[in-house]
Chains A and B, each alone.
Chain A
Amino acid sequence: MTTRKGTGQGGPSRRAMLTGTAKAVGVAAVFGLGLHTIVAGQATVKAAQALRPPGALADERDFLAACTRCGLCVRACPYDTLKLAGVADEAPIGTPFFTARDVPCEMCEDIPCVVACPTGALDHGLTDITKADMGVAVLIDRTTCLNMLGLRCDVCYRVCPLIDEAITLDMRPNTRTGVHAIFEPTVHPDACTGCGKCEKACVLPEAAAIKVLPREVALGSSAEHYRLGWEEKRKHGEALIQDTIDLPDRGYSPDHVESTPSGGLKGFKP
């Protein structure tokens, strides 16, 4: 098309056009390869670090296929929680994310960010914010957490929108004093929405002892190849194997065996 002025029937003009097209195709292919490298690199390198808005498609690949990086969710957020990522941020450029330690998700009941999303990158099926899954809180530093030191901070537990569901305080003996209890903040991943209010509220001066991480970073995969005996027993209603032969315990043969009320052996010290 560039050389329509050619005189002959497919002399220099057609050749020029063909070589021009070939060049364009070649350059476009190189350009496509480069673009693919950048896109694939961004998706994998930065995927696992960012906290996404509520309702964000769980698979980062699905999310990046749907998110137009328009920022409508950011505009809809009444608490300025959401930001669009710049080059230096932990999310691919232009995509929405939040930093829980700065501004956590306030868990609006009407979830305006999801409503604002024009493409479904934030799933409009999410109508109950307590079902959101932005990440999972993890008590990541047990050496600085005040509760783990035996103090009664409890702040992460108190601010949790799903108190006693997503975070409980589990008591165990304080072996340092011998008389007190340690109230260990324990996160229950099934209930935790990853809103980050615990991380925001943690009283430690800089970094929090409890942090929200993307689910795939925070959690191990469950040991599906294990049958948990107590679960199986509960499902079955009774022990699965009856009439097991109770062999004598080697190396433990006290003269007189007295059972405790709970069924253990009195005086047994492993």
Chain B
Amino acid sequence: MSTTPKNPAAGRDIVLPQDPARLAVAAKGRLRASKWLLLRRVSQALALVLFLTGPLLGVWIMRGTLASSEILGVVPFTDPLVFVQSLAAGHGLIATAWIGAALLVALYVVFGGRAFCSWVCPVNVLTDGAHRLRVRLGIKQGLQISRSARLWALAAVVAVSALAGSIAWEVVNPVTLLHRELVFGVVFTGSLAWMLIGGVVLFDIFAANRGWCGHLCPVGAAYGLIGTASLTRVSARARDACDQCMACYHVCPEPHVINPALKGGEGETPVILSRDCTNCGRCIDICHRDVFAFTHRFDHRTVEPANDTEPKSRPAAPAAAE
């Protein structure tokens, strides 16, 4: 992405990648311009706190880790990828695991597959930080990783589970390693886990933009597959109000998902249907013209701009949409 984008509206402020929130903050205030980000951080914190009230305070809400857990000792959860690996490794799981995996799949079909990535996963907090640092350091170079890389990584993980007869990814999975570390505090003695997690952060800062969560993580790929059918989706419903400030592209962890919805022509849905979308809602925050909103995947309505003080013609859809 260029540092000096071709300014579509002459005379307007150019939104620099260093501060994509500037217009939104000016238009809506800092709080509303960070609403979903803050909620997301609260949710990510809860994903730890609910597991920690038990060992720390004796109030057991969630037990276990992100691999398998139970709420209040009743409702079981089992991570779908862990479940699939166990099956591939040749273990017919007992009913609890089947129910637990089905519940999580159902939950993420409702709230968005990769909502796990942006609302629950502890690694996301670190890689978001890594991305901020990368932008601040002005690092532009990086590996170009294929969009399909994470699917191949996912396939490899399942294949290795089958070959080794063991739930393979859990040996090195940064997601559960970090969560287990924080909830059980067991890995402090060895540095391998922290090296892995540190490696992910360094990789995201120096090697590839949004490298881990955005391109490689097989856990995210698995949740992405669930998200193919996810009900909750972001819609660029007021796309007519878009003034091409590009802020959403700057903050989106998966910028390619925006284009078809935001730049779609007449009759094309404004809903972001890509399974890569993490439902993080950052585009909703950052848009100073309130183009985006959460809705469900069947809501194809577009709405007129709410406070369109500067009416302008819709930008032509790029050639790719043809």
- Write the residues of chain A forming the contact surface with B, with a CB cutoff of 8 angstroms: 1-2, 4-5, 20-21, 23-25, 27-29, 31-32, 35-36, 38-40, 42-43, 61-62, 64-72, 74-75, 83-89, 92-94, 116, 118-121, 124
Given A28-B153, A68-B79: A86 in contact with B190 (beta carbons within 8 A): yes
Given A118-B68, A118-B94, A119-B93: A86 in contact with B187 (beta carbons within 8 A): yes
Does chain A have a CB within 8 A of B106? Answer: no
Chain B residues positioned under 8 Å from A116 (CB to CB): 63
B141-149, B242-250, B262-270, B292-300: which lies at the interface: B141-149
B108-116, B169-177, B233-241: which lies at the interface: B169-177
Knowing that A28-B152, A32-B159 touch, tell me 14 more A-B residue pairs with CB under 8 angstroms.
Answer: A4-B320, A5-B318, A24-B145, A27-B152, A42-B171, A64-B167, A67-B167, A68-B78, A71-B184, A72-B70, A93-B190, A94-B177, A119-B96, A120-B93
Bound together, the chains give a CA A247 to CA B48 distance in angstroms of: 83
Given A61-B166, A85-B186, A119-B93: A5 in contact with B320 (beta carbons within 8 A): yes
> Are B160 and A35 interface neighbours, CB within 8 A?
yes
> Are B171 and A5 interface neighbours, CB within 8 A?
no
Does chain A have a CB within 8 A of B65? Answer: yes
Bound together, the chains give a CA A5 to CA B186 distance in angstroms of: 49
Query: Which 3 pairs show the lowest CB-CB distances between chains A and B?
Result: A87-B190, A70-B68, A28-B152
Chain A residues positioned under 8 Å from B55 (CB to CB): 75
> Are B69 and A66 interface neighbours, CB within 8 A?
no
> Are A36 and B168 interface neighbours, CB within 8 A?
yes
**Nearest-Cβ distance from residue B237 to partner chain A, whole angstroms:** 24
B33-41, B82-90, B200-208, B306-314: which lies at the interface: B82-90
Residue interface bits B121-152, CB-to-A below 8 A is 1, else 0:
00000000000000000000000111111001
Given A27-B149, A75-B64, A93-B192: A118 in contact with B183 (beta carbons within 8 A): no
Q: List 20 A-B contacts (CB under 8 A).
A: A21-B146, A28-B149, A32-B159, A35-B156, A35-B157, A35-B168, A43-B164, A64-B165, A68-B86, A70-B65, A72-B64, A72-B70, A84-B184, A84-B186, A87-B190, A93-B187, A93-B192, A118-B78, A119-B68, A119-B97
> Are A65 and B180 interface neighbours, CB within 8 A?
no
Chain B residues positioned under 8 Å from A121 (CB to CB): 91
**Nearest-Cβ distance from residue A65 to partner chain B, whole angstroms:** 4
Chain A residues positioned under 8 Å from B4 (CB to CB): none
> Are A65 and B91 interface neighbours, CB within 8 A?
yes
> Are A72 and B63 interface neighbours, CB within 8 A?
yes
Does chain A have a CB within 8 A of B107? Answer: no
Chain A residues positioned under 8 Å from B149 (CB to CB): 24, 27-28
Bound together, the chains give a CA A191 to CA B78 distance in angstroms of: 35
Closest to A1 in B: B147
> Are B167 and A65 interface neighbours, CB within 8 A?
yes
Bound together, the chains give a CA A24 to CA B63 distance in angstroms of: 37
Does chain A have a CB within 8 A of B189? Answer: yes
Chain B residues positioned under 8 Å from A35 (CB to CB): 156-157, 160, 168-169, 171-172
**Residue of A31, A72, A94 with most partner-chain B CB within 10 A:** A94
Chain A residues positioned under 8 Å from B148 (CB to CB): 1, 20-21, 24
> Are A70 and B156 interface neighbours, CB within 8 A?
no
**What bracket does the count of chain B residues touching chain A fall in?**
35 or more
Bound together, the chains give a CA A43 to CA B89 distance in angstroms of: 13
Does chain A have a CB within 8 A of B74? Answer: no
Closest to A23 in B: B146
**Nearest-Cβ distance from residue B304 to partner chain A, whole angstroms:** 30
> Are B67 and A69 interface neighbours, CB within 8 A?
yes
Chain B residues positioned under 8 Å from A20 (CB to CB): 146, 148
Bound together, the chains give a CA A62 to CA B172 distance in angstroms of: 19
> Are A68 and B171 interface neighbours, CB within 8 A?
no
Chain B residues positioned under 8 Å from A88 (CB to CB): 189-190
> Are A70 and B164 interface neighbours, CB within 8 A?
no
Bound together, the chains give a CA A121 to CA B82 distance in angstroms of: 13
Bound together, the chains give a CA A64 to CA B165 distance in angstroms of: 8
Of the candidates B78, B156, B192, the one whose C-beta lies within 8 Å of that of A87 is: B192
Chain B residues positioned under 8 Å from A120 (CB to CB): 91-94, 97
> Are A39 and B91 interface neighbours, CB within 8 A?
no
> Are A69 and B69 interface neighbours, CB within 8 A?
no
Of the candidates B155, B161, B176, B320, the one whose C-beta lies within 8 Å of that of A94 is: B176
Chain B residues positioned under 8 Å from A32 (CB to CB): 156-157, 159-160
Closest to A115 in B: B96
Closest to A95 in B: B170
Given A24-B152, A39-B164, A67-B167: A2 in contact with B146 (beta carbons within 8 A): yes
Closest to A17 in B: B146
Does chain A have a CB within 8 A of B224? Answer: no
Bound together, the chains give a CA A65 to CA B90 distance in angstroms of: 7
Chain B residues positioned under 8 Å from A65 (CB to CB): 86, 89-91, 161, 165-167
Does chain A have a CB within 8 A of B100? Answer: yes
Closest to A85 in B: B186
Residue interface bits B204-221, CB-to-A below 8 A is 1, else 0:
000000000000000000
**Nearest-Cβ distance from residue A37 to partner chain B, whole angstroms:** 9
**Residue of B82, B164, B165, B172 with most partner-chain A CB within 10 A:** B164
Chain B residues positioned under 8 Å from A84 (CB to CB): 180, 184, 186
